């Protein structure tokens, strides 16, 4: 037998309704916030992520699924959705449409990581990206969209926000960070030592225990924000507070990707172990330009669907009911089975879920089967029923039976 690849997961037929619920909820929230869906390819040229996500990130350094295709091009399976969304925006000239351009996506993403609960090699994200507004109101709107999504799913998380400033304040902060880290460098991991020169901010994102301890004493970026960035941050905070959205400021959030600026945020839970961040996002004003487009500010987030499902399951969140047939129609011989087939087909064409026997079961066995399927109604067609053009429909919840003409079954079910 050939097994599923490490770090990937099947969605089984009796589990997919949970995924659909999360995805439908994402679409509902997207509609309410007037976001339009985009779809980008599963793979892109490797350079997009090297330039877009950043060479000093774990994602690009260690986690990408990269290969050469038969034409000798370097291809990478998308490790996240933002770089592809920005490429789509640039390549299709969306900068000339009315701003902001508000988008969302639901996509698989691929990262070569050590698989654990809530950490997979293929996972899925619901993400939104809003291009063309630098206003702090947009940051607040995007954070509210994430919060609305999580609320609708009934999961409890904590919102943590930070501002990592712009190029100007980051330069000052990086200097301060280097001063702080210099005497500790020998005790830090190799990755951090290379980050020290290239991008000291990224050192704050290290997951090594030793580095984390040292990070705790590092200066806070919020003390280094320039006038504009600090005003922007105040604006975001005041809008969140005014709408009653609780948050804490966590100066250690820098996010895993290089393209962020100003506002960054995470929705975290302590109910799913070490992988507590279910949703992360932030502003990335430099990305579009970095990828060869115009100067277009943008902000977005991505929520990990597997982590969300894990959180929902761990905390007993409510899912809607699993899909069940509305009616099961049993026949007992060639003719009555043909009738059952005919009625089921007619109902199905009207959009009513109907099921019949496929295995030549006895009527008794069909009743058991219908019960296992969770059918709400069962109708048994025998010789008499065929002759009278009428069948007893049994309501499986309360056991009552009602005689209904063959051609009135649809009306009957719709009335229930």
Strand 101-110, strand 36-37: pairing: parallel
* Residue 52 within binding range of ligand ATP, rule CB under 6 A: no
CB of 114 to Mg ion, least distance (A): 11
**Closer residue to ligand ATP, CB minimum distance, 261 or 277:** 277
Residues that bind Mg ion (CB under 5 A): 256
CB of 60 to ligand ATP, least distance (A): 11
Residues in Cβ contact with 103 at an 8 Å cutoff, skipping those fewer than 6 apart: 35, 36, 37, 38, 85, 128, 129, 130, 131
* Residue 125 within binding range of ligand ATP, rule CB under 6 A: yes
CB of 79 to ligand ATP, least distance (A): 8
Binding partner of residue 51 among ligand ATP, Mg ion, none, CB under 5 to 8 Å per kind? Answer: none
First to last CA, the chain: 47
Please select the residue that binds ligand ATP; options are 51, 283, 307, 394, rule is CB under 6 A. 307
* Residue 286 within binding range of ligand ATP, rule CB under 6 A: no
Is residue 124 a contact partner of residue 79, using CB atoms and an 8 Å limit?
Answer: no
Residue 328: how many other CB atoms lie within 10 Å? 28
Is residue 283 a contact partner of residue 256, using CB atoms and an 8 Å limit?
Answer: no
Residues in Cβ contact with 274 at an 8 Å cutoff, skipping those fewer than 6 apart: 116, 118
* Residue 80 within binding range of ligand ATP, rule CB under 6 A: yes
**Closer residue to ligand ATP, CB minimum distance, 15 or 238:** 15
**Closer residue to ligand ATP, CB minimum distance, 81 or 331:** 81
Is residue 300 a contact partner of residue 107, using CB atoms and an 8 Å limit?
Answer: no
Q: Which residues of 243-272 are buried (b: 16+ CB within 10 A; e: fewer)?
A: eebebeebbebbbbbbbbbbbbbbbbbebb
Sheet holding 158-163, edge to edge: 36-37, 101-110, 122-131, 298-304, 277-283, 261-268, 158-163, 248-249
Q: What single-letter DSSP state applies at residue 336?
A: H
* Residue 120 within binding range of ligand ATP, rule CB under 6 A: yes
User: Which of the ranges 161-169, 180-188, 228-236, 301-309 carries the binding residues for ligand ATP, by CB under 6 A?
Assistant: 301-309
**Closer residue to ligand ATP, CB minimum distance, 84 or 325:** 84
Residue 145: how many other CB atoms lie within 10 Å? 24
**Closer residue to ligand ATP, CB minimum distance, 89 or 284:** 284
Residue with tokens 């899925």: 124
* Residue 254 within binding range of ligand ATP, rule CB under 6 A: no
* Residue 275 within binding range of ligand ATP, rule CB under 6 A: yes
Strand 261-268, strand 66-68: pairing: unpaired
Residues in Cβ contact with 364 at an 8 Å cutoff, skipping those fewer than 6 apart: none
Please select the residue that binds ligand ATP; options are 48, 164, 201, 279, rule is CB under 6 A. 279
Please select the residue that binds ligand ATP; options are 87, 102, 111, 195, rule is CB under 6 A. 111
* Residue 103 within binding range of ligand ATP, rule CB under 6 A: no
CB of 203 to ligand ATP, least distance (A): 14
* Residue 113 within binding range of ligand ATP, rule CB under 6 A: yes
Binding site for ligand ATP (CB under 6 A): 80, 111, 113, 118-120, 123, 125, 256-257, 275, 277-280, 302, 304, 306-307
């Amino acid at each position: 037998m050939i097994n599923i690849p490490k770090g990937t997961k099947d969605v089984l037929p009796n589990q997919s309704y949970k995924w659909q619920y999360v995805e439908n909820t994402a679409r509902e929230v997207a509609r309410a916030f007037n976001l339009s869906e985009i779809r980008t390819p599963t793979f892109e040229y490797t350079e997009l992520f090297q330039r877009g996500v950043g060479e000093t990130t774990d994602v690009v350094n260690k986690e990408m699924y990269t290969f050469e295709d038969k034409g000798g091009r370097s291809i990478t399976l998308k490790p996240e959705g933002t770089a592809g969304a920005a490429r789509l925006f640039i390549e299709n000239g969306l900068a000339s449409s009315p701003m902001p351009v508000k988008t969302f996506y639901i996509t698989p993403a691929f990262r070569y990581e050590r698989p654990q609960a809530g950490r997979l090699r293929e996972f899925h994200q619901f993400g939104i990206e809003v291009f063309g507004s630098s206003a702090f109101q947009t940051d607040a709107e995007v954070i509210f969209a994430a919060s609305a999504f999580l609320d609708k799913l009934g999961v409890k998380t904590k919102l943590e926000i930070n501002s990592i400033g712009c190029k100007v304040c980051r330069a000052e902060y990086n200097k301060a960070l280097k001063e702080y880290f210099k005497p500790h460098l020998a005790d830090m991991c190799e990755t951090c030592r290379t980050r020290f020169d290239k991008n000291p901010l990224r050192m704050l994102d290290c997951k090594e225990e030793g580095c984390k301890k040292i990070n705790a004493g590092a200066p806070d970026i919020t003390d280094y924000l320039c006038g504009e960035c600090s005003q922007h941050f105040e604006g975001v905070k005041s809008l969140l507070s005014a709408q009653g959205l609780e948050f804490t400021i966590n100066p250690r959030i820098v996010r895993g990707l290089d393209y962020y600026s100003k506002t960054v945020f995470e929705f975290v839970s302590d109910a799913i172990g070490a992988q507590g961040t279910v949703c992360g996002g932030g502003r990335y004003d430099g990305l579009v330009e970095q990828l060869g487009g115009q100067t277009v500010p943008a902000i977005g987030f991505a929520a990990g669907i597997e982590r969300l499902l894990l959180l929902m399951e761990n905390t007993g969140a409510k899912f809607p009911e699993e899909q069940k047939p509305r009616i099961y129609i049993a026949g007992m011989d060639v003719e009555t089975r043909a009738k059952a087939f005919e009625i089921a087909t007619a109902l199905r064409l009207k959009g009513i879920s109907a099921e019949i026997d496929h295995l030549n079961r006895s009527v008794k066995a069909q009743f058991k089967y219908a019960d296992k399927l969770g059918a709400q109604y069962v109708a048994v067609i025998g010789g008499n029923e065929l002759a009278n053009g009428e069948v007893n429909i049994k309501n499986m919840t309360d056991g009552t039976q009602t005689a209904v003409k063959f051609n009135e079954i649809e009306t009957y079910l719709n009335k229930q």
